[in-house]
Amino acid sequence: MPLHKNVQDAGPEADLDINPVYVREVQLRVPRNSIPRHGMLPDTALQAVRDELILDGNARLNLATFVTTWMEPQARQLMAECFDKNMIDKDEYPQTAELERRCVNILADLWHAPAAGAGLGDQEAAVGCSTTGSSEACMLGGMALLWRWRARRTAGGAAGVGADQPNLVMGANVQVCWEKFCRYWQVEPRLVPMVPGRLHLTGPEAAARCDENTIGVVAIMGSTMDGSYEPVLQISEALDALQAAGGPDIPIHVDGASGGFVAPFLHPDLDWDFRVRRVASINASGHKYGLVYPGVGWVVWRDVAALPEDLVFRVNYLGGDMPTFALNFSRPGGNVAAQYYNFLRLGFEGYRGVQQACQDVARYLSGEIAAMGPFELLTDGSELPVFAFKLAEPSSSAVRYTVFDVSERLRQRGWLVPAYTFPQDMQDTAVLRIVVRNGFSRDMARLLLADLRAQVHLLAAQPHPPAPLIPGSIKDRQGFAH
């Protein structure tokens, strides 16, 4: 319809054509919970949605999330070009499937899988796949452990009490996806609590909780709580000693959601991957330090034997015989294409440079915060570019505020710095955590430090502690803690 028309001839829609968007919107009811009876012009719908989304926080200032919030324009364009490609339809989109295969091979090589070390031919593939994120990848790794345990127990003639009561050993600092796995698949979670001075799983603690019903041990390369690495080699050696003493042969799954894309570049000599014999599978999140927008994850198994055949389904209703072992089915291929783009664009040295820059900013920030006075570091960003800190003397009468107050004051300036309590046996320890990602520069770090100093000064100058937040609200302290 032309922009200018004779109103007498145009009918009721002429007003929509000649008025600015906000004049048009006055005449419209933007629905919230039901589909409107009539539609609206595309620009009007776009503006209505955009106006609501400006209430979200600024993703670049979100220091709570591990998820990528910046990519190059070329990567964004590539993802947009692949939005309409269904990743699961490998017959219709064989080249997208090929890019997925290459990414799995690249990760298998990066993580020293035995087949990768032997050299993969053009048509060979490591054992693994892309997923919607690291949580799905964890589920797949856990399922493979469970199925292999069942096979071992059946082969050993296990029966009677306890034979069908599998358990999984892990630290209480695991991401919630592992608790979901245990609940969904009826596996007993054996959580090793955190204690002062030991904020994650260790070898002796893991081995002490293993028995013949243990399907595996989860070791985390980059704890969500504080950014620290769990000692995969030490855990493996403790399990070696357990087996040598007549105990069971327990495999390890490495949750490398963040560290899987950091350790190979910043800590290449650290033994945590398939160089450790007991490591059966590794997951990582492409949309965290893999530097891709959400959501893509990866899971790789040591070899074919580590992935039970019962978990592989084959379908032919998309046009060709196609194996699939991911939980999710349809999803866009753009994230896989963007992952491959990053591998080509950055290469090993490029990834190393990006992760080193993040770590340098994290170490700078943690050093400045430690020198500020009221805070004590629990980690300093020397493993993941992530660190946690707490008030040095939270019970002192001189400190009349909490980390939750600090988090709330920073939020008023746009910074999202989470405050939370530690899990099991350390619930009385409340911390702040900062995640440094690609795109968070040293200049932005200086701006954050200036705001942090200003807010701490204001909080310290208050004659009385800040009023408690409204219980049950989105900013309730307990809500922040969990």
Per residue in 278-315, pLDDT tens? Answer: 999 999 999 999 999 998 999 999 999 999 988 887 76
Looking at the structure, tell me whether residues 204 and 263 fall in a common domain: yes
Mean pLDDT across the chain, nearest whole number? 86
pLDDT at 328: 77
Query: In the predicted model, is pLDDT for residue 412 greater than 80?
Result: yes
Confidence of residue 40 (pLDDT cuts 50, 70, 90): confident
Residue with tokens 């204001």: 458
Confidence of residue 452 (pLDDT cuts 50, 70, 90): very high
**Least confident span in 29-43, 113-127, 224-238, 371-385:** 113-127
**CATH code, 107:** 3.40.640.10
Q: Residue 454: which domain range?
A: 359-481
CA atoms 373, 379, 383, 384: torsion sign: negative
Q: Looking at the domain assignment, is residue 455 inside a domain? A: yes
Q: Looking at the domain assignment, is residue 86 inside a domain? A: yes
Looking at the structure, tell me whether residues 307 and 407 fall in a common domain: no
pLDDT at 320: 55
As to burial, measured by CB atoms within 10 angstroms (0-12 exposed, 13-18 middle, 19+ buried), residue 450 is exposed
Two tokens, residue 448: 């954050």
pLDDT at 465: 65
In one-letter notation, the amino acid at residue 347 is G
Looking at the structure, tell me whether residues 401 and 305 fall in a common domain: no
Query: What average pLDDT does range 57-70 have in this prediction?
Result: 92
Query: In the predicted model, is pLDDT for residue 5 greater than 60?
Result: no
Looking at the structure, tell me whether residues 42 and 145 fall in a common domain: no
Rounded CA separation 381/384 (Å)? 6
pTM above 0.85, yes or no: yes
Total tally of structural domains belonging to the chain: 3
Looking at the structure, tell me whether residues 440 and 317 fall in a common domain: no
Residue ending a domain, among 345, 377, 408, is 345
In one-letter notation, the amino acid at residue 475 is K
Query: What average pLDDT does range 127-150 have in this prediction?
Result: 94
Rounded CA separation 329/312 (Å)? 13
The share of the chain scoring above pLDDT 90, in percent, equals 65
**Least confident span in 117-121, 267-271, 312-316, 356-360:** 117-121
Instruction: Note the maximum CA span of the chain.
Output: 94
Confidence of residue 1 (pLDDT cuts 50, 70, 90): very low
Residue 131 phi/psi, 5-degree rounding, is -140, 180
User: Which of residues 329 and 70 earns the better pLDDT score?
Assistant: 70
Looking at the structure, tell me whether residues 42 and 163 fall in a common domain: no
The answer to whether residues 171 and 217 touch, using CB atoms and an 8 Å cutoff, is no
pLDDT at 29: 73
Confidence of residue 27 (pLDDT cuts 50, 70, 90): low
Complete DSSP assignment for 265-291: HH-TT---STTSTTEEEEEEETTTTT-
Q: Looking at the domain assignment, is residue 117 inside a domain? A: yes
